[in-house]
């Protein structure tokens, strides 16, 4: 049997998918993705908002499936689209009792200076204003940071006392300085399929300094499919491979990772 055909494990303990994009999956219908994910003991999932175009869509998805929750926010790639109209749209959704019952965080927000699809100053403005929304609504944040460690630290320092529920630096690939800062500030770090990549020793180094109490599991699907399924579209049911690799790197039993990451997710997002 080839490595790519290894059967996906079914874990005995439940798993929470803290970051994926169901509206972007194409290989199956949403109903098929959710049905297959249920078979692999994925108990809850958070589908993430990224742009003005899916603010309402992720809410509709979450309301359609009992195990799915969602966020509200603009990805740094969309920073140039952040304006008063979009801000008011986010606020309206957060304040609407018919829509906000499944919203668990503000995100995906942050900075991306690798691609710089939006100018830096516009990314910074959008990041800061969305952090303030999280403060005002007592919500955690889901943060994207790529090639922006120093600026991410500088911005978060300004919110260190007012952002009570903190959040997660998702898909962590940054340096150890940002990792340690985030951990010291009581943020979690999210790890996904990158942890299984051969050339991702920097991510495993960040995992090594992360206490079990600060680890979250995610896929960021449909992106970043873990080994041994690289080349296939990613989905939440691949989470067991990520959990196995984290357990290996941390030198603990798989059940230890599953129990603690589940507890971490519940405590942060308050499902």
Residue 136 lies in a domain: yes
**pLDDT, position 1:** 37
- Percentage of the chain lying above the pLDDT 70 cut: 98
Cβ atoms < 10 Å from Cβ of 84 = 8
Residue 213 has pLDDT above 80, yes or no: yes
Asked if residue 1 belongs to a domain, the reply is no
Cα(212)–Cα(136) distance, integer angstroms = 29
Smallest Cα–Cα separation from 103: which of 144, 52, 139? 139
Average pLDDT over residues 181-195: 98
Q: Is residue 19 part of a domain?
A: yes
In CATH, what number is assigned to the domain containing residue 34? 3.20.20.140
Spatial CA neighbour of 190 closest among 24, 46, 28, 19: 19
Digit-coded pLDDT (tens) for 22-54: 999 999 999 999 999 999 999 999 999 999 999
Residue 8 lies in a domain: no
Task: State the Cα–Cα distance between residues 18 and 20, nearest whole angstrom.
Answer: 7
pLDDT reported for residue 5:
65
How far is it, in rounded angstroms, from Cα 209 to Cα 101?
Answer: 35
User: 105: domain range?
Assistant: 14-269
2 inside domain:
no
Write down the pLDDT at residue 98.
Answer: 86
- Indicate whether 193 belongs to any domain: yes
Per the structure, the count of domains in the chain is 1
Convert the pLDDT of each residue in 89-139 to its tens digit: 999 999 999 889 999 999 999 999 999 899 999 999 999 999 999 999 999
3 pLDDT more than 60: no
Alpha carbon distance 114, 100 (integer Å): 33
- Asked, for residue 219, whether it belongs to a domain, the answer is yes
Query: What digits encode the pLDDT tens for the residues 154-183?
Result: 999 999 999 999 999 999 999 999 999 999
Percentage with pLDDT > 90 across the chain: 97
Average pLDDT value for the chain: 96
What is the distance between the terminal CA atoms of the chain, rounded to a whole angstrom?
A: 40
Residue 9 resides in a domain: no
In angstroms, rounded to a whole number, what is the distance separating the alpha carbons of residues 243 and 258? 7
Triad 133, 92, 30: Cα angle to 5°: 95
As to burial, measured by CB atoms within 10 angstroms (0-12 exposed, 13-18 middle, 19+ buried), residue 16 is: buried
């Amino acid at each position: 049997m080839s490595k790519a055909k290894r059967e996906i494990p079914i874990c005995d303990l439940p798993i929470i998918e803290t970051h994926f994009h169901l509206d972007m999956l194409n290989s199956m219908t949403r109903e098929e993705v959710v049905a297959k994910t249920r078979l692999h003991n994925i108990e809850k999932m958070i589908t993430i908002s990224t742009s003005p175009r899916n603010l309402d869509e992720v809410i509709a998805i979450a309301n359609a499936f009992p195990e799915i929750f969602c966020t509200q926010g603009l990805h740094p790639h969309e920073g140039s689209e952040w304006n008063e109209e979009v801000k008011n749209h986010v606020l309206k959704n957060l304040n609407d009792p018919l829509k906000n019952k499944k919203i668990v965080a503000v995100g995906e927000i942050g900075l991306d200076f690798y691609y710089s699809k939006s100018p830096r100053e516009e990314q910074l403005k959008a990041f800061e204003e969305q952090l303030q929304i999280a403060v005002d609504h007592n919500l955690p944040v889901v943060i994207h940071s790529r090639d922006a460690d120093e600026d991410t630290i500088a911005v978060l320092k300004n919110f260190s006392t007012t952002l009570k529920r903190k959040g997660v630096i998702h898909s962590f690939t940054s340096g150890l300085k940002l990792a340690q800062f985030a951990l010291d500030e009581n943020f979690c770090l999210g790890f996904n399929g990158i942890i299984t990549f051969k050339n991702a020793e920097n991510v495993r180094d960040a995992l090594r300094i992360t206490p079990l109490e600060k680890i979250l599991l995610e896929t960021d699907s449909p992106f970043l499919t873990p080994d041994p399924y690289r080349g296939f579209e990613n989905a939440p049911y691949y989470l067991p491979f990520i959990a196995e690799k984290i357990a290996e790197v941390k030198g603990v039993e798989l059940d230890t990772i599953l129990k603690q990451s589940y507890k971490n997710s519940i405590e942060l997002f308050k499902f």
